[in-house]
Structure 1
Amino acid sequence: MTTEFETPETVSWHVAAPVSAFPADGGACVKIDGRQIAVFNFSHTGEWYACQNMCPHKMQMILSRGLIGDQQGEPKVACPYHKKTFSLCTGENLNGDSYRIETYPVRVDAGMVYVGL
Structure 2
Amino acid sequence: MNWQPICALDLLAPEHGMPALVGDNAVAVFRTHDDELFAVGNVDPFCGAGVISRGIVGDRGGEPTVASPMLKQVFSLRTGLCLDDPGARLPVFRVRRREAVVEVALP
**So what's the TM-score if we normalise by structure 1?**
0.84
Q: Does 1:54 align with 2:43?
A: yes
Aligned pair partner of 2:57 in 44, 57, 68:
68
1:96 deviation in Å? 2.4
> 2-side partners of 1:24 and 1:46: how far apart?
7
Superposed structure 1 runs of 4+ greater than 6 Å apart: none
1:49 deviation in Å? 0.4
1:21 deviation in Å? 2.3
1:97 deviation in Å? 4.2
Residues 75-102 of structure 1, C-alpha deviations (whole Å, 9 max, x = no match): 1110011101111111111002411110
Residues 3-30 of structure 1, C-alpha deviations (whole Å, 9 max, x = no match): xxxxxxxx42211111122122111101
Instruction: State the identity as a percent.
Output: 32
Q: Does 1:37 align with 2:24?
A: no
Q: Which structure 2 segments of 5+ residues have no match?
A: none
Q: Secondary structure at the match of 1:30?
A: strand
Residues matched between the structures, number: 106
1:113 is matched with which residue? 102
Tell me if structure 1 keeps the 8 A contact 2:65–2:75.
yes
1:26 is matched with which residue? 16
Residues 15-63 of structure 1, C-alpha deviations (whole Å, 9 max, x = no match): 1111122122111101121322100011x21101000100000001000
1:73 deviation in Å? 0.8
